């Protein structure tokens, strides 16, 4: 059997995993992310460098919402 080297999750799957991990059983929840932004010069060589925007995900969170949304998960249904 081949060694697993990558496992992917959709946003909805990740949200459900996190709700179960935190033993959350009520309310509607969404997945949220915090970003950090920066700028630098990048290119294949110094002569090809040009201004570049960089975005990194600094945190992933789950957030309770008052009303159901198309992308929220009802924890009571897990």
> What residues does each domain of the chain span?
11-77
Q: Which of 7, 9, 8, 11 is nearest to 73 (CA)?
A: 11
Q: Which of 35, 28, 31, 41 is nearest to 75 (CA)?
A: 28
DSSP H or E run through 50: strand 50-65
State pLDDT tens for residues 4-39: 899 999 999 999 999 999 999 999 999 999 999 999
What's the pTM value of the predicted model, to 2 decimals?
0.78
């Amino acid at each position: 059997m081949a060694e697993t080297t990558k496992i992917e999750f959709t946003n909805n799957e990740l949200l459900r995993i996190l709700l179960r991990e935190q033993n959350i059983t009520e309310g509607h929840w969404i997945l949220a992310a915090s970003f950090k932004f920066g700028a630098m010069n990048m290119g294949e060589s110094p002569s090809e460098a040009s201004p570049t925007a960089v975005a990194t995900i600094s945190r992933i969170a789950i957030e309770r919402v008052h009303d159901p949304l198309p992308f929220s998960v009802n924890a009571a249904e897990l």
